[in-house]
Amino acid sequence: MRKGIIFDLDGTLADTLSSIAYFANRALMQNGFPKIPVEEYRYLVGNGAKRLVHGMLRSVGADTEENYAKVAPLYNDSYDADALYLTKPYDGILPLLDHLREKDIITAVLSNKPDRTTQKIVKALFGNRILFCRGQRDDTPRKPDPAGVYRLLEEMRLSPEECAYAGDTRTDMLTGKAAGLYTFGVLWGFRDETELRENGADQIVSHPEEIGTFILKERTAF
């Protein structure tokens, strides 16, 4: 029986694609590089800020350490300073979180986004609907390493069998499965169903309410 759930942030709880693309492209153009189409960022995000910037530079044929040293601070600082710009919860997410809270389901977020920025976004968009939150920290390997999941499970006081995981990318599916959690692949985010199924999703969902229905139905079965 599931007593809690850990959510990915970008592409799962919050639509951040336009926001990330805006600040990333601004950092590129400030260094004389062309901007990248917004849709291309669907495949650049999800593995942390460092890999994002290297991916951006590869896309414009300029991935050197010298260029990284110029672009990364501009992106990181400007995005962190205004991380809510063009960012919003996906339709159905707030009702889902409210429903889970009413039923005493423990909720958490695990993101590869820097912890400071993750905390800002989660607090502003979701408030006390999310009880525990971890972004990328120096003392914890990034997803798909399950270390962040284990840290959250300790805080939530749950076993892997008592918790689910929801995300929208290959990285998320591998994270959830590596930690032994029942894993939802969500279709409203950045990647497609094929990627989610090929990387071990236990269930594919097309609307947030499906997650709540499954967890609460499972609970009443016991």
Per-residue pLDDT for the chain (222 aa), expressed as one digit of tens each?
Answer: 899 999 999 999 999 999 999 999 999 999 999 999 999 999 999 999 999 999 999 999 999 999 999 999 999 999 999 999 999 999 999 999 999 999 999 999 999 999 999 999 999 999 999 999 999 999 999 999 999 999 999 999 999 999 999 999 999 999 999 999 999 999 999 999 999 999 999 999 999 999 999 998 876 654
Tally of CB atoms within 10 A around 217: 9
Q: Which pTM value belongs to this model?
A: 0.96
Q: Are 49 and 94 part of one and the same domain?
A: no
117 and 127 fall within a common domain: yes
Q: Are residues 198 and 103 in the same domain?
A: yes
Rounded Cα–Cα distance for residues 42 and 18 (Å): 10
Q: Give yes or no: residues 169 and 123 share one domain.
A: yes
Parent domain of 196: 4-15+87-220
**CATH for 100:** 3.40.50.1000
46 and 60 in a single domain? The answer is: yes
Domain count, the chain: 2
Residue 199 sits in the same domain as residue 159: yes
- Let me know whether 165 and 192 are in one domain: yes
DSSP, collapsed to helix, strand or coil, labels residue 6 as strand
In CATH, what number is assigned to the domain containing residue 55?
A: 1.10.150.240
* Nearest-angstrom CA–CA distance, 7 and 63: 31
Asked whether residue 76 falls in the same domain as residue 166, the answer is no
- Sheet with 132-136, strands from edge to edge, namely 132-136, 106-114, 4-7, 163-167, 182-186, 203-205
pLDDT at 221: 57
CA dihedral sign, ordered 168, 51, 153, 83: negative
Co-location of 119 and 189 in the same domain: yes
Element (H, E) at 195: helix 193-198
Q: Does residue 206 share a domain with residue 132?
A: yes
**pLDDT of res. 217:** 84
- The residue count of the chain comes to 222
Residues 92 and 75 placed together within one structural domain of the fold:
no
The pLDDT score that the predictor gives to residue 216 is 87
Clarify whether residues 95 and 199 are in a common domain.
yes
Q: Which of 15, 2, 6, 3 is nearest to 109 (CA)?
A: 6
